Structure 1
Amino acid sequence: MLKVVHFITDLDTGGAEMMLYKLLAVWQLESSISSTVVTLMKRGSITDRIESLGVKVYSLGMVQGGWPTLGMLLELNRIIRTVRPDLIQGWMYHGNIAATVATLFLRLSLHSVRLVWNIRQTLYDIGYEKRLTRLLIDLNRLCSRLPSKVIYNSTLSAEQHEGIGFSIKRREVIPNGFDLQRFRPDGSATVTLKRQLGMPMDTLLVGHISRFHPMKGHTTLLQAARLVVDDLGEQNRVRFLLIGRGVTKQQDELVRLIDELELSPYVSLMGERSDVERIMAAVDLVVSPSSWGEGFPNVVGEAMACGTPCVVTDVGDSATVVDNTGRVINAKDYNAMAREIEMMLLNQEKRIELGDQARRRVEEHYSIDAIATRYQNFYQLLCQL
């Protein structure tokens, strides 16, 4: 059985972390790959779920913004020499560098091992990134000929990274995959959610699921929401449900913007949830208003799998994923976003039609079983070379 060690920053809920979890779940069920996970920082909210699969998780204990200590490097060396994997997989910039160091340690012991990186964001303007992230991107660029392959989850991400000097010869594009049993249409979800939230049954629900970060476009969405409420508020009940890590009443910047736009009666800040599949199936529409940084947004694929149509910005491969099952607008264009949201909300028949098409598109192109098989075949072929 192929042995693979995955290096990732932490295991808090996020796109890369959830993709890793979904892959591990398939591989463990099929007993096709023996997996180990090493987090650079804390264990995170999905660690228990990964360990429940029978996957060993190690944590090096780095602090955010800090650098690895000698003790951490010694622990990394101990872990990697104990497991002695056939392949080491880095996830995102921090994980890629850690995976590279681990590979060098193992090769010093004359153990043959393959190194693979995984990059999951686009690079519209490196100036958007924090200083430390910019340094890591540059270090990844300088080292990008060391891995056997670099997996990107979107073609645009590959093109943008190669445009700043990443090795063109290392490219491998594998999109995200989705659990079609967990994320699926649920006819009872809408009534249940509205009862729980104390909303009238004729309320129209718009969902946005992402952590709070400038790249995720909360400002654009709220500006669009103001226009939608102005146009539809008197005729229809509209509620925007904002879900994700940091999306709470304790987020002063977000609350201040909602107050300035006088949107408090129309916006619910729901924080991080473990039942996002139920919420996605319950809402009438999901919006992905990201300004930059997305590669292949998980939220869009998950909503589509639930039979919920999406309005997305043309960031990363969002337009490719949605295709003709939703609506695509330019990033930060809140006027266009408001128009598309209104058109969707006012045409129930069209929403249902697009939702059915969205579900079929995910079934045909992005099921997690098919994507996990692509990863497995890719790993096995690479280790045979």
Structure 2
Amino acid sequence: MKTNKKIRVVHLISGLLQGGAESVLFRLVTWPDPEVEHIVVSFADGGIYGQSLMDAGVEVEMLGMTPGRLSPADFWRLKKCLTRLDPDVIQTWMYHADLIGGLAARVAGFRHVAWGIRNSGASLAKSSRSAYLFARLSGFFSRWVPQRIVCCAEEARHRHVQWGYDPRKMVVIQNGYDLSRWVRNETARRTLRNEWGLGEQIPLMGFVARWNPLKDHATLIKAFAQCLAKQPDLHCVLVGKDMDDGNPVLMGLLTEYGVREKTILLGMRNDVPSIMSALDLHVLSSIAEGFPNVVAEAMACGVPNVVTNVGDAALIVGEDGWVAPASDPERLAEKIIQALDYIEETGKSTLARQVRERVMNAFSLEKMVAGYRQTWMDMLSENGKTK
């Protein structure tokens, strides 16, 4: 291990588009740490986060690979990139980077490799067949390629051990949040509600998630339709990739269940903390998650959650949220109504303080950064910086 110098950590990720893993990576590498130097290598391009990372002073390498079409030349280029960067530790993010990046690192002679599991694995085959195949194949290679396997959630660790991942290498580091960014903004709340034609007394729920089978927007929309029978003024905001009127399946669902006029479609946005502040309730309808960032981010903005019982979602909300079974619109609607009634009885400001305090106490960014740093230090202390 290098002495009197920063630990050089190279992060490998398939791309830098908007997503939970990408946002955690961004928070981790932009945290001011005098002991660690971060370099991010994207297999594809800069995506959403590339320029922001560079603006924050983080070196970003973009290899320009075509997603899903890795060639032998691409693999060789990745290997050469790692050799040139000469990291102390290689931290990979998600299944494709875990396996491909891990193998390239070992071929290049590096042994201090930490994999990053960002998904619970539940229903993964329904979302991405290739990710599922990479995940199961990685279980076999986990005995030899990584030195550590960092899981974002306890459920993720448990399921991947069942899939054959080496349990001796597993470390759970829960996500941490920059509470200086995720904070309630009353001015933004008023501005956005005015823009949407909603008064302060109009109940508003929302879901921040890309269009993906694992997010199960269909169940959310069915539950929303049922809620309108008891809360006819209720509106819903949907934010994320393909959450717009250019998505024919989404539009069909909104029309079929009669909620189109009550739904606000925002697509991709870069002002999510402001949008969160405009909500009264955030609803996670997923059928699978690891450690869902969006739940804690909503809480940091003072917004309580109704979540499905997936990944560590119930752990995040604790006693300050509501939990429903996955794929059950009736129970989800029931919990949404319970939550809205409770918010009205208790007062929005009181509950806003409670949910933010929970995130501050349990999921600080400093705690997450310390967990990663200690993991890397432990890896290096086992055999020095030897390749």
TM-score (norm 1): 0.93
Residue 206 of structure 1 pairs with residue 205 of structure 2: yes
Taking a change above 3 Å as real, the CA distance of residues 199 and 129 of structure 1, as seen in their structure-2 partners, is closer
1:1-385 maps to which residues of 2 (within 5 A)? Answer: 1-26=6-31, 29-70=32-73, 72-107=74-109, 113-125=111-123, 127-145=125-143, 146-233=145-232, 237-292=233-288, 294-347=289-342, 348-350=344-346, 352=348, 353-385=350-382
* Partners of 1:360 and 1:316 in 2: CA distance: 22
Which one-letter code corresponds to 1:193 in the other structure? L
The one-letter code of the counterpart of 2:319 is N
Cα distance, 1:9 vs structure 2? 0.9
SS in 2 for 1:346: helix
Following superposition, the deviation at residue 126 of structure 1 comes to: 5.0
Counterpart of 1:321 in 2: which secondary structure?
helix
Aligned to 2:3: none
CA-to-aligned-CA distance 1:186-245 (integer Å, 9 cap, x gap) = 333321211122223322110100010010020011001101112221xxx221000011
- Distance (Å, rounded) in 2 between the aligned partners of 1:63 and 1:171: 31
Do the aligned partners of 1:99 and 1:115 also contact (CA within 8 Å) in 2?
no
Deviation at 1:361, TM superposition (A): 1.1
Q: CA deviation at 1:68?
A: 2.5
- What do residues 126-167 of structure 1 show as CA deviations (whole Å, max 9, x unaligned)? 542433223211221111112111000000010001112111
SS in 2 for 1:133: helix
Distance 1:188 1:30 in 2: 33
Q: Is the 8 A contact 1:115 1:147 kept in 2?
A: yes
In the alignment, the residues of structure 1 paired with residue 195 and residue 128 of structure 2 have an alpha-carbon distance, to the nearest angstrom, of 39
Q: 1:17 to 1:129 in 2, by over 3 A?
A: same
Distance 1:43 1:10 in 2: 7
Deviations 1:55-81 (A, max 9, x none): 2212222223212241x2332122111
Please report how far the alpha carbon of residue 48 of structure 1 lies from its aligned counterpart in structure 2 after TM superposition: 0.4
Q: What is the CA-CA distance between 1:97 and the residue it aligns to? A: 1.4
Q: Distance in 1 between matches of 2:303 and 2:95?
A: 32
Gapped regions of structure 1 (runs ≥ 5): none
Structure 2 vs 1, CA of residues 164 and 351 (structure 1 numbering), >3 Å: closer, same or farther? farther
1:313 and 1:44 map into 2 onto residues whose CA distance is 30
Distance 1:332 1:351 in 2: 30
Instruction: Provide the C-alpha distance between the structure 1 equivalents of 2:321 and 2:353, rounded to a whole number of angstroms.
Output: 11
Q: Displacement of 1:99 after TM fit?
A: 2.3
Please give the secondary structure, in 2, of the residue aligned with 1:85.
coil
- By how many angstroms is 1:284 displaced? 0.3
Query: Partners of 2:239 and 2:99 in 1: how far apart?
Result: 31
Alpha-carbon distance in 1 for matches of 2:193, 2:277:
12
TM (normalized to structure 2)? Answer: 0.93
Checking the alignment, whether the CA contact within 8 Å between 1:85 and 1:113 is kept in structure 2 is no
**d(CA) in 1 for partners of 2:201 and 2:285?**
25
Q: Shift of the alpha carbon at 1:343?
A: 2.1
* Structure-2 separation of matches of 1:130 and 1:21: 24
2 CA distance for matches of 1:17 and 1:149?
A: 20
Name the amino acid aligned to 1:249.
D
Letter in 1 for 2:273: E
Determine helix, strand or coil for the equivalent of 2:186.
coil
CA contact (8 A) 1:77 1:105 kept: yes
SS at match of 1:184: coil
